[in-house]
């Protein structure tokens, strides 16, 4: 039996998961489910990355031990994957003993190969990536991934002789593994090849400036570099470092599904570590694109993330799974918006699947006593049309999955559903009078043939849908009178003619009720797209129309308690900031207020730099009407006192332990 070991990245636990995490996990789960359905022995791993500087910072800010932060967010990831039906066989945490033992084992092997040495290290460091970047890779001096300012750092580290492995890596890229390219897609393979061809420098694999990590074996005062620590999870979860290597021998090497921002770590550093340790390199690195927001990569660091909560509450888990798989061309970037989600939901799920299923089931119930037809026609290679469409769709679907073209697999399902709907429209089985006239027996046979074909094609479509939206597929089977479960399917289930005859068809409400976009946005208090609200607001008179300016006040001005209570003051945490171009005063801040993320513009740029603002908890007016400043829409106002000597702003801060979103009274 063929075997495949799929892994997601292990996710950093300094914040809650967002759409980017969800996408990687859903597409990996979809691939794992497809190959299980093909009869392969598949194992799926996910988990959490819990060491490093950023966790240490978050814990310090909250006044708790780092493990408290790790425990909290690891549970959140576990619960979200359960909610989304992720079929992982294991969940690895880098704070587990089994992981630490595996890291120590691979370091022992690398050290025995003579590939570790100590030396001073300096370079441009991005705290969010926890990585050093060559100056040539910086963008205006900033991190090429997040756009944040990098810092020049120097420390004494343990180094790995990465430069030694350049020729072997290039050979790996040229030959691939088991006849497959080592990196997919080809554009990413070319990217890492170019990086290695330009010359590799030895890699720092320890840190002395932080303490939250695995102590580096034999190097007191050093902790293992977070990427060496994290990457080894793929084999520590299989037992490396323990006495039981059964899973390792059965499933390694694996297939890593990752975002393109961590390609270099997986396609250059990781195989080099394994080569040094005398272990097999991964079977393949599959690198997808980014979900973008405002033309930027979604990232909790920059505050432009989309959380799945609202969409799931309104439309269900499988609707979002379908959108994530079908709306992005795998390997390329895509923009996320609620409008696109709703358009796809209505076209593909409410109409394409839901309405077609309802029409076919209702007619069969009406004509055949609440059951599927009792007879079906014999199929031939030339017809009926939905049979031919099902054959074509099934072939396209299988080939698309095997080529990592998940969006094309979804398109094959759309094609088949369209063919079923067209068959119903063309044959009009609800009409009793036909041309030429039919006897009652002939009419019964005609309806039986047409509706069996349509119901059977819907069953095949559900089999194809199962890897992407497993709960929906199982529900479609139930509504078609069969007790199949998505998890039990095999390739043979796509064969034509397996729908049972005379099977009871239960009455059921619409599978996916059509969504009204206006009602949805109105219910969320939003007029435009955005699964996380990103509007804006003003706290300065610069470029505000007179009608939106705040009237002057004086000590003699009196307001009632009722008027004061209309002001919603909240604690918010600044998670990103940047000075507004062509403005002396304006600072654009991305602010988390409870579960909501907003853009708020304030006239504080002459008093504070962006770096001084990020991470601070301040007081904001949360219910101020939106306004535009220098073309930036915003929603909120930051509170500040005015220094009498200079006229500069002095922000009102709160104790760091106060949670974001807390009401100020």
Q: Where are the domains of the chain?
A: 3-297, 335-494, 546-664
Catalytic residue among 288, 297, 323, 588: 297
Dist. CA 88–CA 29, nearest whole Å? 7
The residue ranking higher by pLDDT, 605 or 408, is: 408
Catalytic residue among 51, 73, 121, 126: 126
pTM of this structure: 0.75
Q: pLDDT at residue 562 above 70?
A: no
Find all residues with CB under 8 Å of 604, minimum gap 6, and list them: 585, 587, 613, 638, 640, 649, 651
Catalytic residue among 143, 256, 266, 463: 143
- Which pLDDT does position 163 carry in this prediction? 97
pLDDT (tens digit per residue) in 571-585 = 988 877 888 887 888
Q: pLDDT at residue 655 above 60?
A: yes
Q: pLDDT at residue 281 above 80?
A: yes
3-state SS, residue 288: strand
Q: Is the peptide bond before 358 cis (omega within 30 degrees of 0)?
A: no
The residue ranking higher by pLDDT, 646 or 483, is: 483
- Is the distance from CB of 38 to CB of 28 less than 8 angstroms? no
pLDDT (tens digit per residue) in 125-177 = 777 666 677 777 788 788 887 677 888 877 789 999 999 999 999 999 999 99
Read off the tokens for 306: 């989309």
Architecture of the domain whose range is 546-664: Beta Barrel (2.40)
Catalytic residue among 121, 222, 256, 300: 300
Lowest mean pLDDT among 5-14, 26-35, 335-344: 335-344
- Which pLDDT does position 472 carry in this prediction? 98
- For 239-265, what is the mean pLDDT? 97
Q: What percent of the chain shows pLDDT beyond 70?
A: 89
Q: Any idea how long the chain is?
A: 665
Cα separations (Å) of 600 from 166, 541, 588? 47, 14, 6
Catalytic residue among 18, 73, 99, 256: 18
Find all residues with CB under 8 Å of 506, minimum gap 6, and list them: 478, 479, 481
**pLDDT band for position 354 (50/70/90)?**
very high
Catalytic residue among 51, 146, 222, 617: 146
Same topology between domain 3-297 and domain 335-494 = no
- The CATH code that applies to domain 335-494 is 1.10.730.10
CATH class of the 3-297 domain in this structure: alpha beta
- Does residue 18 have an active-site annotation? yes
- Which pLDDT does position 17 carry in this prediction? 85
- Does residue 300 have an active-site annotation? yes
- Does residue 121 have an active-site annotation? no
Q: Is the peptide bond before 436 cis (omega within 30 degrees of 0)?
A: yes
* DSSP collapsed to 3 states, 237-262: CCCCCCCCCHHHHHHCCCEEEEEHHH
- Is the distance from CB of 213 to CB of 193 less than 8 angstroms? no
Catalytic residue among 121, 129, 256, 463: 129
The burial of 648, by beta-carbon neighbours within 10 Å (0-12 exposed, 13-18 middle, 19 or more buried), is given as middle
- For 633-640, what is the mean pLDDT? 90
> Average pLDDT of the chain?
88
- For 323-341, what is the mean pLDDT? 90
Dist. CA 479–CA 440, nearest whole Å? 27
Q: pLDDT at residue 480 above 70?
A: yes
- Which pLDDT does position 554 carry in this prediction? 37
Read off the tokens for 73: 């967010």
Q: pLDDT at residue 47 above 50?
A: yes
pLDDT (tens digit per residue) in 68-121 = 999 999 999 999 999 999 999 999 999 999 999 999 999 999 999 999 999 976
3-state SS, residue 125: strand
**pLDDT band for position 481 (50/70/90)?**
very high
The residue ranking higher by pLDDT, 520 or 111, is: 111
Q: pLDDT at residue 2 above 70?
A: yes
- Does residue 129 have an active-site annotation? yes
Q: pLDDT at residue 34 above 80?
A: yes
| 464-468, 543-547, 563-567: which is most confident | 464-468
């Amino acid at each position: 039996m063929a075997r495949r070991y799929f892994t997601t990245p292990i996710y950093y636990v300094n914040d809650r998961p967002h759409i980017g995490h969800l996408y990687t996990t859903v597409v990996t789960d979809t691939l794992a489910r497809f190959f299980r359905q093909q009869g392969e022995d598949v194992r799926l791993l996910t988990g959490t990355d819990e060491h490093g500087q950023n966790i240490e910072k978050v814990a310090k800010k909250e006044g708790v031990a780092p493990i408290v932060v790790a425990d909290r967010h690891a549970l959140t990831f576990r619960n979200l994957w359960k909610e989304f039906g992720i079929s992982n066989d294991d969940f690895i945490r880098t704070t587990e003993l089994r992981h630490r033992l595996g890291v120590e084992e691979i370091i022992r092997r690398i050290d025995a190969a003579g590939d570790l040495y100590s030396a001073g290290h300096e370079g441009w460091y991005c705290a969010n990536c926890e990585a050093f970047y060559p100056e040539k890779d910086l963008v205006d001096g900033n991190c090429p991934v997040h756009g944040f300012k990098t810092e020049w750092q120097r420390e004494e580290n343990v180094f790995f002789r990465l430069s030694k492995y350049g020729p072997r890596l290039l050979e790996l890229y040229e030959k691939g593994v088991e006849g497959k390219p080592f990196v997919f897609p080809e554009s990413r393979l070319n990217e890492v090849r170019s990086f290695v061809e330009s010359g590799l420098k030895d890699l720092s694999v320890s840190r002395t400036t932080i303490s939250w990590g695995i102590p580096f074996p034999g190097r007191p005062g050093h902790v293992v570099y977070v990427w060496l620590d994290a990457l080894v999870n793929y084999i520590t979860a299989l037992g490396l470092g323990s006495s039981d290597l059964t899973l390792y021998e059965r499933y390694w090497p694996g297939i890593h599904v990752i975002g393109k921002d961590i390609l270099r770590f997986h396609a250059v550093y990781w195989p080099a570590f394994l080569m040094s340790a005398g272990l097999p390199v991964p079977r393949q690195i599959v690198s997808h694109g980014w979900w973008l927001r405002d033309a930027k990569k979604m990232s909790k660091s920059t505050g432009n993330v989309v959380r799945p909560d609202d969409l799931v509450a309104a439309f269900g888990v499988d609707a979002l799974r379908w959108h994530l798989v079908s709306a992005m061309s795998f390997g390329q970037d895509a923009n996320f918006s609620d409008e696109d989600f709703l358009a796809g939901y209505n076209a593909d799920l409410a109409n394409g699947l839901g309405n077609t299923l309802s029409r076919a089931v209702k007619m069969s119930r009406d004509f055949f006593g609440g059951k599927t037809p009792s007879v079906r026609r014999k199929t031939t290679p030339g017809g009926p049309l939905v049979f031919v469409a099902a054959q074509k769709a099934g072939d396209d679907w299988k080939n698309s999955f095997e080529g990592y073209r998940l969006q094309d697999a979804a398109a094959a399902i759309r094609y088949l559903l369209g063919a079923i709907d067209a068959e119903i429209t063309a044959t009009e089985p609800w009409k009793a009078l036909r041309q030429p006239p039919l006897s009652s027996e002939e009419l019964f046979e005609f309806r039986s043939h047409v509706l069996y074909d349509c119901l059977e094609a819907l069953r095949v479509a559900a089999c194809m849908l199962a890897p992407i939206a497993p709960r929906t597929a199982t529900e479609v089977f139930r509504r078609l009178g069969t007790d199949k479960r998505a998890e039990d399917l095999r390739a043979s289930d796509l064969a034509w003619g397996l729908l049972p005859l005379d099977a009871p068809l239960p009455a059921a409400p619409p599978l996916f009720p059509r969504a009204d976009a206006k009602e949805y946005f109105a219910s969320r208090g939003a007029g435009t797209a955005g699964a996380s609200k990103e509007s804006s607001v003003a706290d300065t008179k610069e470029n505000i129309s007179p009608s939106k300016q705040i009237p002057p006040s004086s000590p003699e001005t009196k307001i009632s308690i009722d008027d004061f209570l209309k002001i919603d003051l909240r604690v918010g945490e600044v998670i990103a900031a940047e000075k507004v171009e062509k403005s002396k005063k304006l600072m654009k801040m991305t602010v988390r207020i409870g579960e909501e993320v907003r853009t708020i513009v304030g006239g504080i740029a002459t008093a504070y730099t962006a770096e001084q603002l990020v991470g601070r908890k301040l007081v904001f007016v949360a219910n101020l009407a939106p306004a535009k400043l220098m073309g930036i829409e915003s929603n909120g106002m930051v509170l500040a006192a005015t220094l009498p000597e200079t006229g500069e702003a002095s922000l009102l801060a709160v104790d760091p332990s106060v949670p974001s979103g807390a009401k100020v009274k």
